[in-house]
Structure 1
Amino acid sequence: MSPTARDDMPVRRIDRILAFMSVGLLVLSVGCFFAVLISRPAGVTDYSAGIWPTVILLPSFGLPLAFVLIIVVLVMSFVRRARANKGR
Protein backbone atom coordinates (compact mmCIF):
# COMPACT_ATOMS: atom_id res chain seq x y z
CA MET A 1 0.00 0.00 0.00
CA SER A 2 1.39 3.41 -0.92
CA PRO A 3 1.04 6.29 1.51
CA THR A 4 -1.20 9.10 0.41
CA ALA A 5 -0.07 12.69 0.01
CA ARG A 6 -2.07 13.66 3.07
CA ASP A 7 -0.05 11.21 5.21
CA ASP A 8 3.27 12.44 3.79
CA MET A 9 2.73 16.16 4.13
CA PRO A 10 0.76 17.49 7.07
CA VAL A 11 -0.47 21.06 6.66
CA ARG A 12 1.75 23.33 8.68
CA ARG A 13 0.42 26.23 10.71
CA ILE A 14 2.30 28.84 8.65
CA ASP A 15 0.80 27.46 5.42
CA ARG A 16 -2.68 27.68 6.87
CA ILE A 17 -2.10 31.21 8.19
CA LEU A 18 -0.72 32.47 4.88
CA ALA A 19 -3.54 30.85 2.93
CA PHE A 20 -6.25 32.38 5.11
CA MET A 21 -4.49 35.76 5.08
CA SER A 22 -4.39 35.76 1.30
CA VAL A 23 -8.05 34.76 0.97
CA GLY A 24 -9.13 37.31 3.59
CA LEU A 25 -7.14 40.09 1.96
CA LEU A 26 -8.51 39.15 -1.44
CA VAL A 27 -12.13 39.20 -0.22
CA LEU A 28 -11.59 42.51 1.61
CA SER A 29 -9.97 44.12 -1.44
CA VAL A 30 -12.69 42.97 -3.81
CA GLY A 31 -15.33 44.18 -1.35
CA CYS A 32 -13.70 47.61 -1.19
CA PHE A 33 -13.46 47.69 -4.98
CA PHE A 34 -17.19 47.05 -5.31
CA ALA A 35 -17.95 49.59 -2.56
CA VAL A 36 -16.17 52.26 -4.58
CA LEU A 37 -17.96 51.21 -7.76
CA ILE A 38 -21.35 51.36 -6.03
CA SER A 39 -20.67 54.58 -4.14
CA ARG A 40 -20.00 56.71 -7.22
CA PRO A 41 -23.49 56.28 -8.75
CA ALA A 42 -25.01 56.44 -5.26
CA GLY A 43 -23.88 60.05 -4.98
CA VAL A 44 -20.99 60.00 -2.53
CA THR A 45 -19.09 63.17 -3.32
CA ASP A 46 -16.58 63.53 -0.49
CA TYR A 47 -13.98 60.79 -0.81
CA SER A 48 -11.36 62.65 1.23
CA ALA A 49 -13.07 62.22 4.60
CA GLY A 50 -13.73 59.29 6.87
CA ILE A 51 -12.77 55.80 5.78
CA TRP A 52 -13.04 56.45 2.04
CA PRO A 53 -9.32 57.06 1.42
CA THR A 54 -8.57 53.65 2.90
CA VAL A 55 -11.40 51.99 0.98
CA ILE A 56 -10.15 53.51 -2.26
CA LEU A 57 -6.47 52.58 -1.73
CA LEU A 58 -6.92 49.11 -0.23
CA PRO A 59 -7.47 47.27 -3.54
CA SER A 60 -4.32 48.89 -4.96
CA PHE A 61 -2.20 47.24 -2.28
CA GLY A 62 -4.37 44.34 -1.15
CA LEU A 63 -4.81 42.52 -4.44
CA PRO A 64 -1.08 42.36 -5.32
CA LEU A 65 -0.22 41.40 -1.74
CA ALA A 66 -2.80 38.59 -1.78
CA PHE A 67 -1.32 37.34 -5.06
CA VAL A 68 2.18 37.36 -3.56
CA LEU A 69 0.96 35.46 -0.48
CA ILE A 70 -0.61 32.79 -2.69
CA ILE A 71 2.64 32.45 -4.63
CA VAL A 72 4.59 32.15 -1.35
CA VAL A 73 2.28 29.37 -0.14
CA LEU A 74 2.71 27.51 -3.44
CA VAL A 75 6.50 27.83 -3.43
CA MET A 76 6.72 26.68 0.18
CA SER A 77 4.54 23.69 -0.63
CA PHE A 78 6.60 22.75 -3.70
CA VAL A 79 9.89 23.07 -1.80
CA ARG A 80 8.62 20.94 1.07
CA ARG A 81 7.28 18.32 -1.32
CA ALA A 82 10.59 18.22 -3.22
CA ARG A 83 12.52 17.78 0.03
CA ALA A 84 10.18 14.99 1.11
CA ASN A 85 10.62 13.21 -2.23
CA LYS A 86 14.39 13.62 -2.14
CA GLY A 87 14.54 11.99 1.28
CA ARG A 88 12.91 8.77 0.05
Structure 2
Amino acid sequence: MSTPSPSDDLPVRRIDRVLAFMSLGLLILAIVCFFSIIIGTATGMEQADFATGAWPTVTALVWIAPPIAFALLLAVLIMTFVRRSRANKGR
Protein backbone atom coordinates (compact mmCIF):
# COMPACT_ATOMS: atom_id res chain seq x y z
CA MET A 1 0.00 0.00 0.00
CA SER A 2 1.09 3.56 0.53
CA THR A 3 3.20 5.14 3.21
CA PRO A 4 1.50 7.03 6.04
CA SER A 5 0.69 10.62 5.23
CA PRO A 6 2.00 13.54 7.31
CA SER A 7 -1.47 13.93 8.78
CA ASP A 8 -0.84 10.70 10.73
CA ASP A 9 1.76 12.58 12.77
CA LEU A 10 1.67 12.45 16.55
CA PRO A 11 -0.09 15.31 18.35
CA VAL A 12 1.97 17.90 20.20
CA ARG A 13 1.92 17.31 23.93
CA ARG A 14 1.44 20.06 26.47
CA ILE A 15 4.89 19.58 28.00
CA ASP A 16 6.52 20.01 24.59
CA ARG A 17 4.64 23.24 24.04
CA VAL A 18 5.46 24.55 27.53
CA LEU A 19 9.18 23.78 27.20
CA ALA A 20 9.34 25.34 23.74
CA PHE A 21 7.67 28.56 24.87
CA MET A 22 9.85 28.69 27.99
CA SER A 23 12.91 28.41 25.78
CA LEU A 24 11.66 31.16 23.49
CA GLY A 25 10.75 33.36 26.45
CA LEU A 26 14.19 32.99 28.02
CA LEU A 27 15.88 33.88 24.74
CA ILE A 28 13.72 36.98 24.32
CA LEU A 29 14.40 37.97 27.93
CA ALA A 30 18.15 37.59 27.39
CA ILE A 31 18.02 39.72 24.25
CA VAL A 32 16.02 42.44 26.00
CA CYS A 33 18.49 42.44 28.90
CA PHE A 34 21.41 42.59 26.47
CA PHE A 35 19.96 45.62 24.70
CA SER A 36 19.17 47.30 28.03
CA ILE A 37 22.83 46.99 29.00
CA ILE A 38 23.86 48.43 25.63
CA ILE A 39 21.43 51.33 25.98
CA GLY A 40 22.47 51.92 29.59
CA THR A 41 26.12 52.06 28.58
CA ALA A 42 25.42 54.33 25.60
CA THR A 43 23.52 56.85 27.71
CA GLY A 44 26.61 57.49 29.79
CA MET A 45 25.97 55.47 32.91
CA GLU A 46 29.15 54.93 34.84
CA GLN A 47 30.43 51.45 35.65
CA ALA A 48 29.61 51.94 39.35
CA ASP A 49 25.91 52.20 38.50
CA PHE A 50 25.89 48.69 37.04
CA ALA A 51 26.92 47.25 40.43
CA THR A 52 23.76 48.44 42.19
CA GLY A 53 20.03 48.05 41.78
CA ALA A 54 18.64 45.59 39.25
CA TRP A 55 21.70 45.69 36.98
CA PRO A 56 23.48 42.66 38.50
CA THR A 57 20.34 40.58 37.86
CA VAL A 58 20.09 41.91 34.30
CA THR A 59 23.73 41.06 33.68
CA ALA A 60 23.31 37.57 35.14
CA LEU A 61 20.29 36.92 32.92
CA VAL A 62 22.35 37.71 29.83
CA TRP A 63 24.84 35.00 30.83
CA ILE A 64 22.49 32.38 32.30
CA ALA A 65 19.31 32.48 30.19
CA PRO A 66 20.70 31.36 26.77
CA PRO A 67 22.27 28.10 28.04
CA ILE A 68 19.09 27.24 29.95
CA ALA A 69 17.01 27.99 26.85
CA PHE A 70 19.29 25.77 24.78
CA ALA A 71 18.96 22.95 27.32
CA LEU A 72 15.15 23.25 27.26
CA LEU A 73 15.12 23.15 23.47
CA LEU A 74 17.40 20.12 23.52
CA ALA A 75 15.04 18.41 25.97
CA VAL A 76 12.10 19.06 23.64
CA LEU A 77 14.01 17.61 20.68
CA ILE A 78 15.10 14.50 22.58
CA MET A 79 11.58 13.88 23.90
CA THR A 80 10.14 14.28 20.41
CA PHE A 81 12.66 11.88 18.85
CA VAL A 82 12.05 9.26 21.56
CA ARG A 83 8.28 9.57 21.20
CA ARG A 84 8.45 9.24 17.41
CA SER A 85 10.77 6.24 17.57
CA ARG A 86 8.45 4.50 20.02
CA ALA A 87 5.46 5.26 17.79
CA ASN A 88 7.27 3.91 14.73
CA LYS A 89 8.19 0.69 16.54
CA GLY A 90 4.53 0.10 17.29
CA ARG A 91 3.50 0.37 13.63
Global fold match (TM > 0.5): yes
Q: Percent of pairs identical after alignment?
A: 55
Closer/same/farther in 2, CA of residues 32 and 79 from structure 1, 3 Å limit = same
Supply the AA of the counterpart residue of 2:86. Answer: R
Deviation at 1:2, TM superposition (A): 5.4
2:68 to 65, 68, 78: 65
Which structure: larger Rg?
2
Q: Residues 7-66 of structure 1, C-alpha deviation per residue, up to 9 Å, x if partnerless?
A: 431110100000000000000001101111121121122012211111111011001100
Aligned residue number for residue 41 of structure 2: 40
In the superposition, the TM-score normalised over structure 1's length comes to 0.90
1:80 to 66, 83, 87: 83
For 2:7 and 2:60, the matched residues in 1 are separated by: 39
Consecutive unaligned residues of structure 2, counting only runs of 5 or more, are none
Instruction: Find runs of 4+ consecutive structure 1 residues off by over 6 angstroms.
Output: none
